[in-house]
C-alpha cells in the first residue's frame, strides 16, 4: 500500500482537484477549493485511514486562473488563443456606427476612416459583454485576473472593479496603469505566473506593485488629432505646424502628457532614446546590457518605413533586444493619428518568481 501512495503523490492529487480519484482502489484524494486543503485517504477492507490532511505548498492547480484583458493591449484574438488568454474587443463609434476592434474593424479600415476625417470616438466594453465573459470562464476556471487599460486613460477599469464586487473575490481586476505593448507584457507576465501556480489575488498584487515599471515615449507626425481631441488649442496646433514642431509625449501610468518639443523627427527620436536610456538607468536600475528589460518599438498607421529604419539604427544600441515593431492600440492612435513612432521600456518578470510554488 505504501508504494501505491508514493506513486500517486500529492502533485497527482492536485491535478485532479474537485474530483475523487482512486489508485488501485486503495487511495483517494480530495481537494477542498474553499479551504485550499488536501486530504489523502487509504481504504483497506472498507476501513478508512487518513494518510495526509493539510495545506500543501502548491495551493492551487496550475492553469486554473484565467487571464482576461482588452484589445487596448494590442493582443489579437489569434494571439490570445495561442497564449491561452482572453481579449475583450474595444468598441468605437465611427460616424455614429458601432464597431468592435478587430472583429468588425481592422487596423487598415480604422486608418482609412481617420484619413477621411470621420468622427471617431472611443467607448468602453458593454457591461453585459464583460460579465458574460466572466460567467462563461468561471464554468471552467476557479478565478479570473482581469487587466484593463490604465484607469487614468479610460473608465473601463473602475467599471470592472465595481462589477467584480459581485463575484466574491473570484474576479481580481488589476489597475495596472498600462496600455498598448506595456499592457500586453503585463498580460504575458500574468499568464506566466498563473501557469506557475500563482493565484489571482497574488497576480493582481504583483502587477499593481510593478505598475510604474514601464515607460512609453511617442512623437507625432501631425498635431491635427491632438487639436481635434481638445488636448491642445487650435492656436497652439497652428503655431506648432507652422514651426514644424515634433512633440514628444509620454505615458507614465495615468495619462498622455507632453514631454518635449523637437524641430525634426531625427531630433525627436534622439530625445525619446535619451529618455528611455535615462529611465533604464535611474528608474529601473537595469543592467548595462539591458537584459532585465524589454525594449519595444511601436507605430501608428500602416506605413512601417520610418519605424523599420529606426529599428536598424537601434540594433547597435540594444543588441540583445528583438525590437520588433508593433502597432499602437487604436484607442491611442485615435487621439494622435497615423505616422507616430514610439519606444517603450518595461522591466522583465524575474525568473525566480516562476519557481515560487515548485
Q: How far apart are CA 199 and CA 358, in angstroms?
A: 14
What pLDDT shows up at residue 229?
A: 58
Name 125's Cβ contacts closer than 8 Å, sequence gap at least 6.
70, 88, 89, 90, 91, 156
Is the model's pLDDT at 241 over the cut of 60?
no
pLDDT at 266: 93
pLDDT exceeding 70 applies to what percent of the chain?
76
Beta strands in 33-142 (DSSP E): 37-44, 47-54, 65-70, 86-88, 91-94, 97-100, 120-122
For the whole model, what pTM was predicted?
Answer: 0.79
Return the pLDDT at 205. Answer: 97
User: What's the grid cell of residue 42?
Assistant: 487509504
DSSP 105: B
pLDDT of residue 231: 53
Q: Could you read off the pLDDT of 48-104 as tens digits, one per residue?
A: 444 444 444 434 444 599 999 999 999 999 999 999 999 999 999 999 999 999 999
What is the sign, positive or negative, of the torsion defined by CA atoms of 150, 69, 327, 342? positive
Give helix then strand counts, H and E, for the chain.
12, 17
Distance separating alpha carbons of residues 290 and 282, to the nearest angstrom: 13
**Residues 87, 82: Cα–Cα separation, whole Å:** 12
- Note the pLDDT of residue 341: 95
Distance CA 41, CA 27 (A): 6
CA distance 32 to 39: 8
3-state SS assignment for residue 239: helix
The DSSP bridge pattern shows strands 65-70 and 86-88 to be parallel
Query: C-alpha cell of 294?
Result: 524589454
Specify the 3-state DSSP secondary structure of 37.
Answer: strand
| 7-61 confidence digits (pLDDT tens) | 334 444 444 444 444 444 444 555 444 444 444 445 444 444 444 444 444 344 4
Can you tell me the mean pLDDT for 98-122? 93
How sure is the predictor about 2, in pLDDT bands with cuts at 50, 70 and 90? very low
| Dihedral sign, Cα of residue 136, residue 39, residue 62, residue 65 | positive
- How many C-beta atoms lie closer than 10 Å to residue 340's C-beta? 22
Amino acid at each position: 500500500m505504501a508504494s501505491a501512495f508514493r506513486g500517486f503523490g500529492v502533485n497527482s492529487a492536485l491535478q485532479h482537484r474537485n474530483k475523487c480519484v482512486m489508485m488501485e482502489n486503495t487511495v483517494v484524494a480530495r481537494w477542498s477549493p474553499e479551504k485550499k486543503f488536501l486530504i489523502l485517504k487509504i481504504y483497506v477492507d472498507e476501513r478508512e485511514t487518513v494518510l495526509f490532511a493539510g495545506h500543501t505548498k502548491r495551493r492551487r492547480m496550475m492553469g486554473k486562473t484565467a487571464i482576461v484583458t482588452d484589445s487596448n493591449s494590442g493582443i489579437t484574438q489569434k494571439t490570445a488563443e495561442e497564449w491561452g488568454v482572453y481579449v475583450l474587443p474595444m468598441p468605437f463609434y465611427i460616424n455614429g456606427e458601432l464597431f468592435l476592434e478587430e472583429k468588425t474593424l481592422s487596423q487598415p479600415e480604422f486608418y482609412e476612416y481617420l484619413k477621411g476625417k470621420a468622427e471617431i470616438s472611443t467607448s468602453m466594453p458593454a457591461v453585459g459583454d464583460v460579465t458574460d465573459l466572466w460567467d462563461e470562464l468561471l464554468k471552467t476556471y476557479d478565478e479570473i485576473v482581469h487587466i484593463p487599460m490604465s484607469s487614468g486613460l479610460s473608465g473601463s477599469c473602475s467599471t470592472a472593479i465595481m462589477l467584480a464586487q459581485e463575484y466574491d473575490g473570484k474576479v481580481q481586476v488589476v489597475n495596472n496603469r498600462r496600455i498598448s505593448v506595456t499592457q500586453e507584457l503585463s498580460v504575458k507576465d500574468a499568464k506566466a505566473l498563473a501557469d506557475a501556480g500563482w493565484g489571482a489575488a497574488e497576480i493582481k498584487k504583483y502587477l499593481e506593485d510593478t505598475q510604474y515599471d514601464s515607460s512609453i515615449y511617442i512623437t507625432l507626425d501631425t498635431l491635427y488629432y491632438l487639436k481635434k481631441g481638445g488636448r491642445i488649442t487650435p492656436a497652439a496646433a497652428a503655431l506648432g505646424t507652422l514651426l514644424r514642431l515634433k512633440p514628444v509625449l509620454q505615458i507614465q501610468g495615468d495619462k498622455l502628457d507632453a514631454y518635449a518639443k523637437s524641430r525634426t523627427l531625427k531630433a525627436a527620436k534622439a530625445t525619446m532614446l535619451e529618455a528611455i536610456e535615462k529611465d533604464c538607468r535611474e528608474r529601473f536600475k537595469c543592467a548595462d546590457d539591458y537584459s532585465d528589460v524589454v525594449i519595444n518599438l511601436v507605430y501608428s498607421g500602416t506605413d512601417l518605413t520610418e519605424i523599420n529604419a529606426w529599428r536598424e539604427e537601434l540594433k547597435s544600441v540594444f543588441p540583445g533586444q528583438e525590437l520588433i515593431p508593433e502597432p499602437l492600440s487604436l484607442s491611442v492612435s485615435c487621439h494622435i493619428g497615423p505616422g507616430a513612432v514610439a519606444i517603450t521600456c518595461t522591466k522583465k518578470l524575474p525568473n525566480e518568481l516562476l519557481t515560487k510554488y515548485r
